[in-house]
Structure formats: structure tokens, C-alpha cells
Homo-oligomer: A and B are copies of this chain.
Amino acid sequence: MKTEEKIVEKKYQQAKECPITIFMEQIGGKWKPVIIWLLLSNEVMRFNELDKAIDGISQKMLSQQLKDLEKLNLIDRKSYPVIPPKVEYRLTEKGKSLKEILTIIMNWSNQNLR
């Protein structure tokens, strides 16, 4: 039946392909935008710096979110084999390209939310 096929097709589209949903799942959430935002203005940050700069985050959450962002190729992790350990995080080009979006969201939010 034609109408049924149409519905199925539509549903599939929305469930698996909606790019906005994918974005929200992968970049949204409580911590990822903050991390990206900090790296946009600070260029390079160490784990501890991020930890101190983000209020309320736990080390567990921070390392988890950083891993996620690394997998998405949005940030680069550079580890130095020294004691004590030193690890640097910075944005990739792809990560930097989020600046425009985050800026627009920030402006809209400032004007429309509180």
C-alpha cells in the first residue's frame, strides 16, 4: 500500500537520519559545549585546567566527555611521557568550525532565554 510505505519511509528518515537529532545527541548535553567553548578561547588546556574551569564537573565526566569529543575528531589529545603526566587538549579544525554555531546559539539564547 502506498500510504503505508510513505509512512515507513518518513519514520525511518526521522529516526535515523535527522541531522539535528544526531547533532544534539553527539554535541549537546551538559558538558561538551562548555568544553568546546573553553577550548575556542584558550587554544590549549590541560586536564586539570579544564577540571578547574568547569564548575561542578567530576573527573569521571570530564574524561568521558573528552574521549567522546576525541572520537568525533573534534579535539586532539596530546600526552607527554613525563612525570608527573602532562596532557594537552586542543580543538581540531573540525572542532574550531563549531565556533560559528556556538556563537549564534549564544546570541539567540541571550536574547530569548534566561
A contact set with B: CB distance below 8 Å: 7, 10-12, 14-15, 18-26, 28-30, 33-34, 37, 52-56, 72, 94, 97-98, 100-102, 104-106, 108-110, 112-114
Contact = CB atoms under 8 A, between A and B. Distances in A.
A19 to B, nearest CB: 4
Nearest to A56: B15
B97 A20 contact: no
Nearest to A23: B109
Interface SS of chain A = helix
A54 B97 CA distance: 30
How many monomers of this protein are in the complex? 2
B101 A105 contact: yes
A102 to B, nearest CB: 6
10 contacts: A19-B105, A19-B110, A20-B106, A21-B33, A23-B109, A24-B29, A24-B33, A97-B112, A101-B101, A101-B108
A7 B52 contact: yes
A46 B33 CA distance: 34
B108 A72 contact: no
A100 B104 CA distance: 9
